[in-house]
Chain A
Amino acid sequence: AQKITQTQPGMFVQEKEAVTLDCTYDTSDQSYGLFWYKQPSSGEMIFLIYQGSYDEQNATEGRYSLNFQKARKSANLVISASQLGDSAMYFCAMREGDTGRRALTFGSGTRLQVQP
């Protein structure tokens, strides 16, 4: 079974608008962490935001926020005020367990294109 599911292969958004990228996950662990990464066409993976399973508040980092719905096992990324430079692949990832020893498992990604 897929541990991380990203159902949107591609998304379009107008510049300055907000966009939500979907991510659902599957785990039987009570303790886990969820990460979002951005991968521009240049190829490097850039960390954006983190949400812990026990965090009571949704994570925010600048224009990025995470809509964490634990009961639904979803961790959607919200980008506010989209910019042309936000055009990239976006990956949701999960680390299971509470020791930090597990590797990140990635979804298949969503390609976001910001239109002027």
Chain B
Amino acid sequence: EAGVAQSPRYKIIEKRQSVAFWCNPISGHATLYWYQQILGQGPKLLIQFQNNGVVDDSQLPKDRFSAERLKGVDSTLKIQPAKLEDSAVYLCASSFGGVRTEAFFGQGTRLTVV
């Protein structure tokens, strides 16, 4: 079974530029998450989708971050314009959505804003 795919693996941009990350979840997983992991910290939820609807985006900085999940499968996360403090690993995860089910994570995209 293929895992969660993310691209790119690494990205370096200058502040005020824009950047987009792509995620393809495990086939059949209805729930998709984007997490931000700053160096030395645990992952922090940015947004959660159930199929193509948003379940929780309470911690998404909506003035600069946006995300969509077209057709309930692939998802993109965009930052525009980027700030230095956005430097982090962006993790995509998916799950069946049941109470006891774990989330499966991709390898993440390491973003450096200079």
Measuring CB to CB, which residues of chain A are less than 8 angstroms from any residue of chain B?
Answer: 4, 31, 33, 35, 37, 42-45, 47, 50, 52, 91, 93, 95, 97-109
Contact = CB atoms under 8 A, between A and B. Distances in A.
B55 A101 contact: yes
A31 B100 CA distance: 11
Interface of B: 31, 33, 35, 40-45, 48, 50, 55-56, 89, 91, 93, 97-108, 110
A107 B99 contact: no
Given A44-B107, A45-B91, A100 B99 contact: yes
Given A91-B42, A106-B43, A44 B108 contact: yes
B93 A101 contact: no
A31 to B, nearest CB: 7
Contacts of A45: 43, 91, 93, 105
Contact of A50 (B33, B102, B107): B102
A102 B98 CA distance: 10
Given A43-B107, A103-B48, 14 more contacts: A4-B42, A35-B102, A37-B105, A43-B89, A45-B93, A50-B100, A50-B102, A91-B43, A100-B101, A101-B97, A102-B56, A103-B33, A103-B103, A104-B33
